[in-house]
Amino acid sequence: MVKPCWKPHDDGDSNGRVDGLLWSKDLGHHVYGQFSMAVIQANNVVEDQSQLESGALSMTNPGPLGTFVGVYDGHGGTEASRFVNDNLFSNLKRYASLHQDISENVIRKAFAATEEGFLSLVQKQWLNEPKIASAGSCCLVGIICNGQLYIANAGDSRVVLGRTERATREVIAIQLSTEHNASIESVRDELRMVHPEDPQIVILKHNVWRVKGLIQVSRSIGDAYLKKAKFNRPPLPPKFQLPEPFYKPILSAEPSILVHKLRPDDQYLIFASDGLWEHLSNQKAVDIVNSYPRNGIARRLVKAALREAAKKREMRYSDLKKIDRGVRRHFHDDISVVVVFLDPHLINGRPSPCSLSIKGGEGLPSSANS
Protein backbone atom coordinates (compact mmCIF):
# COMPACT_ATOMS: atom_id res chain seq x y z
CA MET A 1 0.00 0.00 0.00
CA VAL A 2 1.29 3.47 -0.96
CA LYS A 3 1.02 5.86 1.98
CA PRO A 4 0.67 9.66 1.90
CA CYS A 5 3.97 11.59 2.05
CA TRP A 6 3.63 13.26 5.45
CA LYS A 7 6.12 13.62 8.27
CA PRO A 8 5.60 15.21 11.72
CA HIS A 9 7.97 18.07 10.86
CA ASP A 10 6.26 19.06 7.60
CA ASP A 11 4.86 22.59 7.64
CA GLY A 12 1.49 21.18 8.71
CA ASP A 13 -0.57 22.40 5.74
CA SER A 14 -0.90 19.73 3.07
CA ASN A 15 -2.29 22.20 0.51
CA GLY A 16 -0.07 25.18 1.31
CA ARG A 17 -1.14 28.54 2.69
CA VAL A 18 -2.02 31.93 1.23
CA ASP A 19 -0.77 35.31 2.50
CA GLY A 20 -2.19 38.03 0.26
CA LEU A 21 -0.79 37.36 -3.24
CA LEU A 22 1.77 34.83 -1.94
CA TRP A 23 1.04 31.09 -1.77
CA SER A 24 3.56 28.72 -0.16
CA LYS A 25 4.08 25.16 0.94
CA ASP A 26 7.08 25.71 3.17
CA LEU A 27 8.25 22.13 3.65
CA GLY A 28 7.02 18.75 2.53
CA HIS A 29 8.32 15.28 1.69
CA HIS A 30 8.57 13.51 -1.64
CA VAL A 31 9.84 9.99 -2.22
CA TYR A 32 13.47 11.15 -2.58
CA GLY A 33 13.68 13.84 0.10
CA GLN A 34 12.06 17.19 0.93
CA PHE A 35 10.66 20.07 -1.11
CA SER A 36 9.48 23.68 -0.75
CA MET A 37 7.11 25.56 -3.09
CA ALA A 38 5.95 29.15 -3.51
CA VAL A 39 3.94 31.27 -5.97
CA ILE A 40 3.58 35.05 -6.10
CA GLN A 41 0.76 36.52 -8.16
CA ALA A 42 1.27 39.63 -10.31
CA ASN A 43 -1.44 39.32 -12.97
CA ASN A 44 -5.16 39.92 -12.36
CA VAL A 45 -5.55 36.17 -12.73
CA VAL A 46 -2.46 34.10 -11.95
CA GLU A 47 -1.15 32.60 -15.22
CA ASP A 48 1.55 30.41 -13.65
CA GLN A 49 0.60 26.86 -12.72
CA SER A 50 2.80 24.30 -10.96
CA GLN A 51 2.59 20.85 -9.43
CA LEU A 52 4.55 18.22 -7.56
CA GLU A 53 3.47 14.58 -7.80
CA SER A 54 5.30 11.92 -5.85
CA GLY A 55 4.71 8.17 -5.74
CA ALA A 56 3.57 5.95 -8.61
CA LEU A 57 4.56 7.30 -12.03
CA SER A 58 2.44 4.83 -13.98
CA MET A 59 -0.94 3.15 -13.72
CA THR A 60 0.53 -0.35 -13.50
CA ASN A 61 1.15 -1.99 -10.13
CA PRO A 62 3.93 -2.31 -9.24
CA GLY A 63 5.17 0.51 -11.42
CA PRO A 64 8.09 2.95 -11.17
CA LEU A 65 8.15 5.20 -8.10
CA GLY A 66 9.40 8.73 -8.45
CA THR A 67 8.82 12.46 -8.20
CA PHE A 68 7.36 14.63 -10.97
CA VAL A 69 7.71 18.44 -10.93
CA GLY A 70 5.98 20.73 -13.40
CA VAL A 71 6.18 24.53 -13.82
CA TYR A 72 3.84 25.96 -16.47
CA ASP A 73 4.18 29.67 -17.25
CA GLY A 74 1.07 30.71 -19.15
CA HIS A 75 0.69 33.67 -21.49
CA GLY A 76 -2.31 35.13 -23.30
CA GLY A 77 -4.58 33.83 -20.56
CA THR A 78 -4.79 30.91 -18.17
CA GLU A 79 -6.38 28.30 -20.42
CA ALA A 80 -3.21 26.59 -21.65
CA SER A 81 -1.29 26.50 -18.36
CA ARG A 82 -4.33 25.15 -16.52
CA PHE A 83 -4.89 22.50 -19.19
CA VAL A 84 -1.25 21.37 -18.91
CA ASN A 85 -1.53 21.30 -15.11
CA ASP A 86 -4.62 19.09 -15.38
CA ASN A 87 -3.45 16.73 -18.15
CA LEU A 88 0.32 16.41 -18.62
CA PHE A 89 1.01 14.19 -15.61
CA SER A 90 -1.89 11.83 -16.38
CA ASN A 91 -0.65 11.58 -19.98
CA LEU A 92 2.83 10.73 -18.67
CA LYS A 93 1.41 8.00 -16.40
CA ARG A 94 -0.56 6.55 -19.31
CA TYR A 95 2.49 6.25 -21.57
CA ALA A 96 4.71 5.06 -18.71
CA SER A 97 2.16 2.27 -18.17
CA LEU A 98 2.22 1.29 -21.84
CA HIS A 99 6.03 1.24 -21.97
CA GLN A 100 6.50 -0.05 -18.39
CA ASP A 101 9.09 2.65 -17.65
CA ILE A 102 10.04 6.34 -17.78
CA SER A 103 12.06 7.33 -20.86
CA GLU A 104 12.66 10.21 -23.26
CA ASN A 105 10.18 8.61 -25.63
CA VAL A 106 7.48 8.47 -22.93
CA ILE A 107 8.05 12.14 -22.06
CA ARG A 108 7.87 13.24 -25.70
CA LYS A 109 4.62 11.31 -26.16
CA ALA A 110 3.15 12.93 -23.02
CA PHE A 111 4.01 16.41 -24.30
CA ALA A 112 2.59 15.61 -27.75
CA ALA A 113 -0.65 14.21 -26.30
CA THR A 114 -1.07 17.30 -24.09
CA GLU A 115 -0.50 19.59 -27.06
CA GLU A 116 -2.94 17.62 -29.19
CA GLY A 117 -5.54 17.70 -26.41
CA PHE A 118 -5.29 21.47 -26.01
CA LEU A 119 -5.46 22.14 -29.76
CA SER A 120 -8.62 19.98 -29.85
CA LEU A 121 -10.07 22.18 -27.10
CA VAL A 122 -9.19 25.30 -29.13
CA GLN A 123 -10.95 23.77 -32.16
CA LYS A 124 -14.12 23.30 -30.12
CA GLN A 125 -14.13 26.71 -28.43
CA TRP A 126 -12.44 29.23 -30.65
CA LEU A 127 -15.45 30.49 -32.63
CA ASN A 128 -17.15 31.42 -29.34
CA GLU A 129 -13.92 32.19 -27.40
CA PRO A 130 -11.40 33.21 -30.09
CA LYS A 131 -8.79 34.41 -27.59
CA ILE A 132 -8.15 30.80 -26.58
CA ALA A 133 -6.21 30.46 -29.85
CA SER A 134 -3.62 32.93 -28.51
CA ALA A 135 -3.30 31.22 -25.10
CA GLY A 136 -0.11 29.24 -24.58
CA SER A 137 2.18 27.96 -21.86
CA CYS A 138 5.84 27.31 -21.32
CA CYS A 139 6.29 23.83 -19.93
CA LEU A 140 9.16 22.73 -17.66
CA VAL A 141 9.13 19.20 -16.26
CA GLY A 142 11.50 17.29 -14.00
CA ILE A 143 11.18 13.57 -13.23
CA ILE A 144 13.32 11.73 -10.68
CA CYS A 145 13.12 7.96 -11.05
CA ASN A 146 15.53 5.02 -10.56
CA GLY A 147 18.50 7.28 -9.85
CA GLN A 148 17.95 9.26 -13.06
CA LEU A 149 16.82 12.84 -13.52
CA TYR A 150 14.87 13.71 -16.66
CA ILE A 151 14.46 17.40 -17.54
CA ALA A 152 12.08 18.38 -20.35
CA ASN A 153 11.51 21.98 -21.34
CA ALA A 154 9.53 23.91 -23.94
CA GLY A 155 9.82 27.67 -23.38
CA ASP A 156 11.92 29.80 -21.03
CA SER A 157 11.34 28.48 -17.53
CA ARG A 158 14.52 27.10 -15.95
CA VAL A 159 15.86 24.44 -13.61
CA VAL A 160 19.18 24.88 -11.81
CA LEU A 161 21.07 22.18 -9.93
CA GLY A 162 22.99 22.96 -6.74
CA ARG A 163 26.05 20.67 -6.62
CA THR A 164 28.82 20.49 -4.03
CA GLU A 165 32.28 20.83 -5.55
CA ARG A 166 34.42 18.08 -4.04
CA ALA A 167 37.64 20.13 -4.00
CA THR A 168 36.30 23.36 -2.48
CA ARG A 169 33.06 22.10 -0.82
CA GLU A 170 31.33 25.12 -2.35
CA VAL A 171 27.89 24.64 -3.87
CA ILE A 172 27.85 25.70 -7.52
CA ALA A 173 24.93 26.37 -9.83
CA ILE A 174 24.51 24.23 -12.94
CA GLN A 175 21.71 25.10 -15.37
CA LEU A 176 20.13 21.90 -16.67
CA SER A 177 17.36 23.17 -18.94
CA THR A 178 17.63 24.42 -22.50
CA GLU A 179 15.59 27.59 -23.03
CA HIS A 180 13.67 28.62 -26.13
CA ASN A 181 13.49 32.41 -26.19
CA ALA A 182 14.18 34.61 -29.22
CA SER A 183 16.51 36.78 -27.10
CA ILE A 184 19.02 33.88 -27.37
CA GLU A 185 21.04 33.99 -30.61
CA SER A 186 21.07 30.20 -31.08
CA VAL A 187 17.24 30.17 -30.88
CA ARG A 188 17.03 32.85 -33.59
CA ASP A 189 19.45 30.83 -35.71
CA GLU A 190 17.31 27.71 -35.25
CA LEU A 191 14.16 29.57 -36.28
CA ARG A 192 15.85 30.96 -39.40
CA MET A 193 17.10 27.48 -40.30
CA VAL A 194 13.64 25.91 -39.90
CA HIS A 195 11.94 28.79 -41.77
CA PRO A 196 14.46 29.77 -44.50
CA GLU A 197 11.66 31.12 -46.70
CA ASP A 198 10.62 33.73 -44.10
CA PRO A 199 12.99 36.70 -43.60
CA GLN A 200 10.60 38.05 -40.93
CA ILE A 201 10.56 34.93 -38.74
CA VAL A 202 12.25 36.92 -35.93
CA ILE A 203 11.87 40.68 -35.60
CA LEU A 204 13.61 43.13 -33.27
CA LYS A 205 10.73 45.19 -31.87
CA HIS A 206 11.23 47.84 -29.16
CA ASN A 207 14.68 46.34 -28.54
CA VAL A 208 13.22 42.87 -27.89
CA TRP A 209 13.51 39.92 -30.27
CA ARG A 210 10.14 38.30 -30.97
CA VAL A 211 8.97 35.45 -33.19
CA LYS A 212 6.96 37.13 -36.00
CA GLY A 213 7.13 40.26 -33.86
CA LEU A 214 4.53 38.73 -31.51
CA ILE A 215 5.99 36.34 -28.94
CA GLN A 216 9.37 35.75 -27.30
CA VAL A 217 9.25 31.98 -26.81
CA SER A 218 9.78 29.66 -29.78
CA ARG A 219 8.35 26.52 -28.13
CA SER A 220 5.21 26.12 -26.06
CA ILE A 221 2.05 24.15 -25.48
CA GLY A 222 -0.85 25.95 -27.16
CA ASP A 223 -0.44 29.21 -29.12
CA ALA A 224 -2.64 27.60 -31.76
CA TYR A 225 -2.68 30.82 -33.81
CA LEU A 226 1.02 30.29 -34.62
CA LYS A 227 0.74 26.55 -35.24
CA LYS A 228 -2.34 26.13 -37.43
CA ALA A 229 -3.20 28.76 -40.06
CA LYS A 230 -6.94 28.06 -39.67
CA PHE A 231 -6.78 29.77 -36.26
CA ASN A 232 -4.93 32.82 -37.62
CA ARG A 233 -7.95 34.59 -39.04
CA PRO A 234 -11.16 36.21 -37.78
CA PRO A 235 -12.61 35.97 -35.15
CA LEU A 236 -9.04 36.01 -33.73
CA PRO A 237 -8.32 39.55 -32.46
CA PRO A 238 -6.54 41.54 -35.23
CA LYS A 239 -3.36 42.12 -33.19
CA PHE A 240 -2.61 38.38 -33.38
CA GLN A 241 -3.35 37.98 -37.10
CA LEU A 242 -0.37 37.69 -39.43
CA PRO A 243 -0.51 39.67 -42.71
CA GLU A 244 0.54 36.64 -44.77
CA PRO A 245 -0.50 32.96 -44.62
CA PHE A 246 1.84 30.25 -43.27
CA TYR A 247 2.04 26.61 -44.30
CA LYS A 248 3.84 24.94 -41.40
CA PRO A 249 3.83 25.56 -37.63
CA ILE A 250 5.81 28.63 -36.59
CA LEU A 251 6.16 27.51 -32.96
CA SER A 252 6.87 23.98 -31.72
CA ALA A 253 5.70 21.96 -28.71
CA GLU A 254 8.71 19.63 -28.91
CA PRO A 255 10.62 19.71 -25.59
CA SER A 256 14.39 19.74 -25.19
CA ILE A 257 15.22 16.77 -22.96
CA LEU A 258 18.25 16.12 -20.74
CA VAL A 259 18.87 12.84 -18.92
CA HIS A 260 21.25 13.07 -15.94
CA LYS A 261 22.40 10.30 -13.62
CA LEU A 262 22.17 11.76 -10.13
CA ARG A 263 25.37 11.91 -8.07
CA PRO A 264 25.81 12.01 -4.28
CA ASP A 265 27.03 15.63 -4.51
CA ASP A 266 23.83 16.77 -6.30
CA GLN A 267 22.12 18.60 -3.45
CA TYR A 268 18.92 20.17 -4.77
CA LEU A 269 17.06 21.41 -7.83
CA ILE A 270 15.47 24.86 -8.24
CA PHE A 271 12.60 24.86 -10.75
CA ALA A 272 11.16 28.29 -11.54
CA SER A 273 9.31 30.31 -14.14
CA ASP A 274 11.29 33.07 -15.84
CA GLY A 275 9.89 35.66 -13.43
CA LEU A 276 12.44 34.47 -10.85
CA TRP A 277 15.42 34.34 -13.22
CA GLU A 278 14.67 37.86 -14.47
CA HIS A 279 15.84 39.10 -11.06
CA LEU A 280 18.17 36.40 -9.67
CA SER A 281 21.20 34.78 -11.31
CA ASN A 282 21.58 31.00 -11.14
CA GLN A 283 24.39 31.27 -8.58
CA LYS A 284 22.55 33.85 -6.47
CA ALA A 285 19.56 31.51 -6.19
CA VAL A 286 21.81 28.60 -5.21
CA ASP A 287 23.62 30.76 -2.65
CA ILE A 288 20.29 31.65 -1.03
CA VAL A 289 19.18 28.01 -0.83
CA ASN A 290 22.55 27.06 0.60
CA SER A 291 22.52 29.81 3.25
CA TYR A 292 19.12 29.35 4.90
CA PRO A 293 16.98 26.59 6.44
CA ARG A 294 14.95 24.42 4.08
CA ASN A 295 11.67 25.39 5.70
CA GLY A 296 10.24 28.25 3.61
CA ILE A 297 13.19 28.42 1.20
CA ALA A 298 11.01 28.74 -1.93
CA ARG A 299 9.18 31.66 -0.30
CA ARG A 300 12.56 33.22 0.53
CA LEU A 301 13.63 32.96 -3.13
CA VAL A 302 10.42 34.68 -4.26
CA LYS A 303 10.93 37.50 -1.76
CA ALA A 304 14.57 37.92 -2.86
CA ALA A 305 13.36 38.37 -6.45
CA LEU A 306 10.75 40.91 -5.33
CA ARG A 307 13.37 42.89 -3.42
CA GLU A 308 15.46 43.05 -6.61
CA ALA A 309 12.39 44.12 -8.61
CA ALA A 310 11.72 46.91 -6.11
CA LYS A 311 15.36 48.01 -6.19
CA LYS A 312 15.28 48.27 -10.01
CA ARG A 313 12.33 50.65 -9.74
CA GLU A 314 14.00 52.59 -6.90
CA MET A 315 11.25 51.79 -4.45
CA ARG A 316 11.02 50.06 -1.09
CA TYR A 317 10.07 46.39 -0.91
CA SER A 318 7.40 47.31 1.66
CA ASP A 319 5.78 49.64 -0.89
CA LEU A 320 5.92 47.04 -3.66
CA LYS A 321 4.01 44.62 -1.43
CA LYS A 322 1.12 47.10 -1.19
CA ILE A 323 0.55 47.13 -4.96
CA ASP A 324 -2.42 44.99 -5.99
CA ARG A 325 -2.52 42.30 -8.66
CA GLY A 326 -2.86 43.58 -12.20
CA VAL A 327 -0.94 46.79 -11.50
CA ARG A 328 1.74 44.56 -9.87
CA ARG A 329 2.49 43.07 -13.31
CA HIS A 330 4.23 46.34 -14.26
CA PHE A 331 6.85 45.58 -11.60
CA HIS A 332 7.31 41.79 -11.84
CA ASP A 333 5.77 38.69 -13.39
CA ASP A 334 3.91 35.83 -11.73
CA ILE A 335 6.67 33.69 -10.16
CA SER A 336 6.52 29.97 -9.34
CA VAL A 337 9.36 28.21 -7.50
CA VAL A 338 9.80 24.57 -6.52
CA VAL A 339 12.96 23.59 -4.61
CA VAL A 340 13.49 19.81 -4.55
CA PHE A 341 16.08 18.48 -2.09
CA LEU A 342 17.76 15.18 -2.98
CA ASP A 343 18.57 12.56 -0.33
CA PRO A 344 21.30 10.29 -1.80
CA HIS A 345 20.34 7.46 0.57
CA LEU A 346 16.83 7.42 -0.90
CA ILE A 347 17.94 7.96 -4.51
CA ASN A 348 20.50 5.15 -4.44
CA GLY A 349 18.61 2.96 -2.01
CA ARG A 350 14.88 2.42 -1.72
CA PRO A 351 12.65 5.46 -2.24
CA SER A 352 10.03 6.18 0.39
CA PRO A 353 6.83 4.40 -0.76
CA CYS A 354 4.46 7.32 -0.27
CA SER A 355 2.16 9.37 -2.49
CA LEU A 356 1.64 13.13 -2.71
CA SER A 357 -0.08 15.49 -5.14
CA ILE A 358 0.10 19.26 -4.66
CA LYS A 359 -0.77 22.14 -7.00
CA GLY A 360 1.00 25.46 -6.51
CA GLY A 361 -1.03 28.60 -5.93
CA GLU A 362 -4.31 26.99 -4.90
CA GLY A 363 -6.41 29.61 -3.12
CA LEU A 364 -4.91 32.66 -4.86
CA PRO A 365 -7.44 35.07 -6.42
CA SER A 366 -8.65 33.28 -9.56
CA SER A 367 -10.68 35.97 -11.29
CA ALA A 368 -10.49 39.68 -11.94
CA ASN A 369 -13.45 40.28 -9.63
CA SER A 370 -12.58 38.04 -6.66
How far apart CA 115 and CA 152 sit, in angstroms, is: 14
| 311 falls within a domain | yes
Which residues contact residue 277 at a Cβ distance below 8 angstroms, ignoring those fewer than 6 apart? 158, 285
Question: Residue 12: its pLDDT value, please?
Answer: 55
**DSSP at 10:** S
Q: Could you give the CA distance from residue 158 to residue 326 in angstroms, rounded to a whole number?
A: 24
Q: Is 235 a domain residue?
A: no
- CATH at 168: 3.60.40.10
Q: Is residue 208 part of a domain?
A: no
- Partnered with residue 53 across adjacent β-strands are 68, 357
Element (H, E) at 339: strand 335-341
**DSSP classification of residue 333:** -
Domain-embedded: residue 246: no
* In-domain check, residue 241: no
- Domain membership of residue 189 (yes or no) is no
Domain count across the chain: 1
**Assigned domain for 165 exists:** yes
Residue 185 covered by a domain: no
Residue numbers of the domain that contains 305: 16-178+253-360
pLDDT in tens, the chain (370 residues): 455 665 545 665 667 899 889 999 999 999 999 999 999 999 899 999 999 999 989 887 777 889 999 999 999 999 999 999 999 999 999 999 998 889 999 999 999 999 999 999 999 999 999 999 999 999 999 999 999 999 999 999 999 999 999 889 999 999 999 999 999 999 999 999 999 999 999 999 899 999 999 999 999 999 999 999 999 999 999 999 999 889 999 999 999 999 999 999 999 999 999 999 999 999 999 999 999 999 999 999 999 999 999 999 999 988 888 888 989 988 889 999 999 999 988 887 777 777 899 999 888 876 444 4
Cβ contact 11:26 at 8 Å: yes
What backbone phi and psi angles, to 5 degrees, belong to 179?
Answer: -100, 150
Given this model, what pLDDT does residue 7 score? 58
Give the SS3 label for residue 77.
coil
CA atoms within 13 A on the CB side of 23: 26
